[in-house]
Chain A
Amino acid sequence: QKEVEQDPGPLSVPEGAIVSLNCTYSNSAFQYFMWYRQYSRKGPELLMYTYSSGNKEDGRFTAQVDKSSKYISLFIRDSQPSDSATYLCAMSEGSARQLTFGSGTQLTVLP
């Protein structure tokens, strides 16, 4: 079993839809949680960065962390075709020296 599980999709939604992306994890020591967006043939771009449990909102993006359930989510409101990309979750322990990534979810937003 992988430390971080992420549904690879592909996920296809119409423009304007609310998108929900999720990851589960098994390591209870993870404290820092990130979401990255990766366009084809580009490096991952940091979208959201949260510490411990709770919600964080940035524009159309909301990140949620539920440490009791070992479950994190990224919500995208009013999705746009430009949101079409692969979304990667990542997490790390407080004193760890590496980020552990999910395998990524491929999202397509149809105009």
Chain B
Amino acid sequence: GAGVSQSPSNKVTEKGKDVELRCDPISGHTALYWYRQSLGQGLEFLIYFQGNSAPDKSGLPSDRFSAERTGGSVSTLTIQRTQQEDSAVYLCASSLASRGAAYFGPGTRLLVL
């Protein structure tokens, strides 16, 4: 079946602009994660959605970052007033339950000039 998809695959923006990154999880997966991977670094947790529960936002680095998940499926990560340090690969993953293995999408490469 189809895996996790993310769009756009690449995004170049100017400092101070807002960007929206989209994630389409695997159909039927109730849990959805956003991670960030900077060059040569490990994966940094950002936010987690599980079903209708309140999201775990503990990893969001600042209030410029927000995410929503509509209808328990598609998720959008929004970064307002982008900064150069926001440049990274933003990865989305989904799983069947909070204890299930997470499957990742290909990521969105964000470059802030």
Interface residues of A (CB under 8 A from B): 32, 34, 36, 41-46, 49, 88, 90, 92, 94-104
The distance from the CB of A91 to the nearest CB of chain B, in whole angstroms, is: 11
Q: Let me know if A94 and B99 touch, CB within 8 A.
A: yes
B42/A98 in contact, CB under 8 A: no
Closest to A106 in B: B40
Interface residues of B (CB under 8 A from A): 4, 33, 35, 41-43, 45, 48, 50, 56, 58-59, 91, 98-99, 101-107, 109
Q: Which of A34, A36, A45, A98 sits near B56, CB closer than 8 Å?
A: A98
A97 to B95: give the CA distance in the assembly, Å.
11
Q: Which residues of A have CB within 8 Å of B48?
A: 97-98
Check B43–A97 contact: CB distance below 8 A.
no
Cα-based distance from A97 to B59 in the complex (angstroms): 11
Alpha-carbon distance A95/B99, docked complex (angstroms):
7
CB-based contact B91/A97 at 8 Å: no
> With contacts A94-B99, A97-B98 known, is A103 near B91, CB below 8 A?
no
Please name 28 pairs of A and B residues whose Cβ atoms are closer than 8 Å in the assembled complex, sorted by A: A32-B99, A32-B101, A42-B106, A43-B91, A43-B107, A44-B43, A45-B104, A46-B103, A46-B104, A49-B101, A88-B42, A88-B43, A90-B102, A95-B98, A97-B48, A97-B98, A98-B45, A98-B48, A98-B56, A98-B58, A98-B59, A99-B43, A101-B35, A101-B42, A101-B43, A102-B42, A103-B42, A104-B42
B109 and chain A: residue at smallest CB distance: A41
